Amino acid sequence: MAQGEDILDQADALMRRHRSFVARGDTAGLAATPPTDDTPGDGDIPLLTEVVEIAPDAAANEAAHTVQSSAIQHELDAWLAEILPSRIDALAEQIGQQLLSGLADEARGTLLPRLHAALQARRKKE
């Protein structure tokens, strides 16, 4: 069971990262403006002014992580495609039965007396 929980934790983490990325939107065009001498209070905030190269091992790890994330996403999508339609059908069937049962009860309680009264009134007129 620990392996299943680990996979679910990984899937949750992947979805959280994706949701966070989507929520942020595109920030590529929002570049920080460099501080000027008259910028108040920003003198103690360091700025990244150097491009940092990713080591080949780190790039390989990132590629492996991306492949693993893709595999998890694929399995999640496949599982949902397999399970979701039958769950939706079962839920729709259950809702339909509840609706019919509720309507039948309500018809017996309110519609039948109204129809009976209407028929009685019609017979009295004849």
Could you report the per-residue pLDDT of 54-108, keeping only the tens digit for each?
A: 666 766 777 777 878 888 999 999 999 999 999 999 999 999 999 999 999 999 9
pLDDT at 45 over 70: no
* SS3 of the chain: CHHHHHHHHHHHHHHHHHHHHHHHCCCCCCCCCCCCCCCCCCCCCCCCCCCCCCCHHHHHHHHHHHHHHHHHHHHHHHHHHHHHHHHHHHHHHHHHHHHHHHHHHHHHHHHHHHHHHHHHHHHHHC
Read off the pLDDT of each residue in 32-61 and give the average, rounded to a whole number.
60
Amino acid symbol at 90: A
Instruction: Judge whether 62 lies within some domain.
Output: no
Residue 110 or residue 37, greater confidence: 110
Instruction: Judge whether 112 lies within some domain.
Output: yes
Residue 29, pLDDT score: 46
* Counted domains in the chain: 1
CA pair distance 76, 70, nearest whole angstrom: 10
The residue assigned the tokens 């769950």 is 87
Amino acid symbol at 76: L
pTM of the model: 0.38
Domain limits for position 113:
68-126
Q: Binning pLDDT at 50, 70 and 90, where does residue 30 land?
A: very low
Instruction: Judge whether 114 lies within some domain.
Output: yes
Q: Please state, for a pLDDT cut of 90, what percent of the chain lies above it.
A: 39
